[in-house]
């Protein structure tokens, strides 16, 4: 649940993350990045807004953060961050540039790897193409503390491979029945390919806590009844005009309006404790490549 006391101290979380990031780097500078997959099962839930803001929040806390927009072919993270990348995942997949060359810097120093817009090869990649792309992305894990992967709607090859490789999944849904149903299908699939994945759920753009709580109870009841388990409930993010304004301004709401209700709620989501443990013994993209076979 959202801690209402945080509405009074929205900046303390960033300071805590800064000191934790420093401590992690001092303890082991050789570890690869933690990887957080963010998905929703369907479009229109505000997943990319959540992903871009979480990246900005964590970067503000002192972490080296990479946001990968894997909504390949229909990417919009660059728009939400006010960026105009020259290269995208398509250029990396074809070998035109190295992955590092395709990165652009965004708010608070975060780095973005854009998914590109209108590219057929990215919208419908073959397994061989994905294998080549994952191999190219692998070295980036050594350069960042946290990699956030923003997945597109549906359960394509890339999403399923990432779910099989990930240790941590954040599901973004709305209170509507269709959004809950598609998010349930995503959660079910994630546990089919990866029974040990840590999953959390956030209800986005809710008109109130009671509506969000009711949506979560429906999701939990169905999950427990048919699967025998359910994700962790992280909390809810209110429907907030400041978010709509931030999209038009092309600046994350947590940067332009850090005291807005949605910003404070997003800061709480960014404190989800499983993010601190989103690292596995083997490199993420190597595991994703094996999952393609």
CATH of the domain at 254: 3.40.50.300
Q: What is the pTM of this model?
A: 0.89
**H-assigned helices in 28-156:** 47-60, 77-80, 89-93, 120-123, 127-137
d(CA 80, CA 282): 32
DSSP 169: E
d(CA 228, CA 223): 6
**Domains in the chain, number:** 1
Q: Which of 273, 220, 247 is nearest to 50 (CA)?
A: 247
pLDDT tens readout for residues 144-168: 999 999 998 778 888 999 999 999 9
Residue 169's DSSP bridge partners are 37, 199
Q: Whole domain around residue 196: which residue ranges?
A: 4-25+34-291
Sign (positive or negative) of CA dihedral 103, 114, 162, 170: positive
Structure confidence at residue 31 as a pLDDT band (50, 70, 90): low
d(CA 114, CA 38): 15
């Amino acid at each position: 649940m959202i801690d209402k006391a945080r509405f009074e101290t929205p900046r303390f979380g960033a300071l805590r993350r800064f000191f934790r990031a420093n401590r992690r780097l001092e303890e082991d500078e050789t570890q690869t990045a933690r990887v957080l997959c963010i998905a929703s099962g369907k479009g229109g839930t505000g997943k990319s807004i959540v992903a871009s803001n979480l990246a900005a929040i964590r970067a503000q806390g002192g972490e080296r953060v990479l946001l990968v927009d894997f909504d390949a072919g229909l990417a919009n993270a660059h728009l939400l961050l006010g960026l105009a990348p020259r290269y995208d995942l398509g250029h990396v997949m074809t070998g035109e540039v190295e992955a590092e060359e395709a990165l652009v810097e965004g708010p608070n120093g975060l780095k973005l790897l854009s998914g590109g817009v209108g590219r057929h090869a990215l919208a419908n990649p073959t397994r061989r193409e994905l294998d080549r792309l994952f191999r190219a992305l692998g070295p980036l894990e050594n350069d960042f503390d946290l990699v956030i992967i923003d997945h597109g709607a549906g359960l394509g090859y890339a999403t399923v491979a990432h779910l099989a490789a990930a240790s941590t999944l954040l599901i973004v849904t709305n209170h509507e029945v269709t959004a809950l149903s598609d998010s349930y299908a995503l959660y079910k699939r994630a546990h089919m390919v990866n029974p040990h994945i840590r999953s959390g759920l956030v209800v986005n753009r809710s008109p109130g806590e009671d509506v969000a709580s009711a949506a979560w109870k429906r999701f939990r009841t169905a999950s427990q009844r048919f699967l025998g388990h359910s994700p962790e409930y992280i909390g809810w993010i209110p429907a907030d005009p400041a978010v709509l304004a931030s999209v038009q301004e092309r600046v994350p709401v947590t940067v332009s309006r850090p005291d807005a209700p949605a910003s404070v709620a997003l800061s709480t989501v960014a404190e989800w404790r499983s993010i601190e443990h989103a690292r596995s013994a083997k490199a993420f993209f190597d595991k994703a490549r094996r999952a393609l076979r």
